[in-house]
Structure 1
Amino acid sequence: MTLRAATRGDLDAIMALEESAFPTDAWSRTAMAAEIASPHGRYLVDDESGRVVGYGGVRAVVGAGDADIQTIALEADVRGAGRGRALLRALLDEARARRAQQVFLEVRADNPVAQRLYASEGFVEIARRPRYYQPDDVDAIIMQLNLPEPGADGKVDR
């Protein structure tokens, strides 16, 4: 498993994963390309021997104080091996590096696996958006994590 910065050259692979993971509400190619290119965020890919098997993104304007996990997706055959957690932790590290103090995300109410991952990393539910995910009429659970301050050595305990 190698995590690296996503590039425009990864867009086809990212979109294939996006459409597979989120068939009814995938982001458009234009929106994803804009996210990857934005200076206000960071997208990472999980590269396995030259093949993109996962990706994730965080939007964190430097100095704004908060950040949003935009998305995390993995190929079905690599799920359950800690790759989602590794992506999430790398995105949280990026948010911290951009001086975020809080991180937010939205997760589908019908995705208990993702909810458990986020809760295990310290996220808590703060609200719900009814029927947010369309056309499926699935609620969004809004979760928040307060990022701990780094210690004297610059490291954060997890």
Structure 2
Amino acid sequence: MTNIFLPVAEKSDLAAIFALEQQVFGHHSYPDFFFRQVFDCWHDGLVLAKDEQANLVGYQLAVRASDPKDYWILSLAVATSYQGRGIGKQLINAGIAKAPAGVERILLTVSPTNPARHMYAAQGFVEIAFEEDYFGPEQARLVMALTLT
């Protein structure tokens, strides 16, 4: 497992977060202005992972849903060169620890072909649904949930 630290996000991190988002998700990434709004609206749900040189190597964004018992991981990205080193697991655990009081379930979606689904399962997430066109035509996603209570 790579040694990382989990700092509080600063406005100066936003460009690096967007660059990582593009690296990992390509044409299906959130736009740059979204992360500025995230910083203002959901700052507590933004967890960063940085290496010993303070380079951003991963991030997770989670927000409370309209049902206050649910907390959604909207995005989790780990730099390609750092994947497989336990950083995703560390981000998930940090995000779970930051879940607001009253949250009973953490949800996420993942492509059925994304190997990260195995990491989520190893962390206790279970598949609860499959949607063929979750993000539009041919954008299938598994919906996974971790029950906290």
Q: Same fold (TM over 0.5)?
A: yes
In the TM superposition, what whole-angstrom CA distance separates every residue of 1:10-57 from its partner, at most 9, and x where no partner exists?
Answer: 110000000010002100112122122214751011111221111111
Q: Which has the higher strand share?
A: 1
Could you tell me which residue of structure 2 aligns to residue 70 of structure 1?
Answer: 74
Q: 1:121 aligns with which of 120, 123, 126?
A: 123
Q: CA RMSD in A?
A: 2.0
Counterpart mapping for 1:63-142 below 5 A: 64-95=68-99, 97-111=100-114, 113-134=115-136, 137-142=138-143
User: How many percent of aligned residue pairs carry the same amino acid?
Assistant: 28
CA distance in 2 between counterparts of 1:144 and 1:68 reads 9
Instruction: Give SS of 1:44's match.
Output: strand
- Find out whether 1:143 has 2:144 as its counterpart: yes
Deviating beyond 3 angstroms after TM superposition, the runs of 4 or more aligned structure 1 residues are: none
Check whether the contact 1:25–1:133 (CA below 8 A) recurs between aligned residues. Answer: no
Of 39-48 and 17-26, more deviation after overlay is shown by 39-48
- What's the offset of the Cα at 1:92? 1.0
Q: Are the structure 2 counterparts of residues 124 and 51 from structure 1 closer, same or farther at C-alpha, using a change threshold of 3 Å?
A: same
Number of residue pairs aligned between Structure 1 and Structure 2: 145
Could you tell me which residue of structure 1 aligns to residue 64 of structure 2?
Answer: 60
**Normalized against structure 1, the TM-score is what?**
0.83
Of 80-89 and 34-43, more deviation after overlay is shown by 34-43
Unpaired segments ≥5 residues, structure 2: none
Check whether the contact 1:110–1:138 (CA below 8 A) recurs between aligned residues. Answer: no
Q: Output the amino acid matched with 2:49.
A: D
Instruction: Give SS of 2:48's match.
Output: strand
CA distance in 2 between counterparts of 1:128 and 1:41 reads 29
Instruction: Give SS of 2:38's match.
Output: helix
In the TM superposition, what whole-angstrom CA distance separates every residue of 1:56-93 from its partner, at most 9, and x where no partner exists?
Answer: 111026x9111001111111111111111000111111
Instruction: Give SS of 1:5's match.
Output: coil
Unpaired segments ≥5 residues, structure 1: 149-158
CA distance in 2 between counterparts of 1:41 and 1:141 reads 26
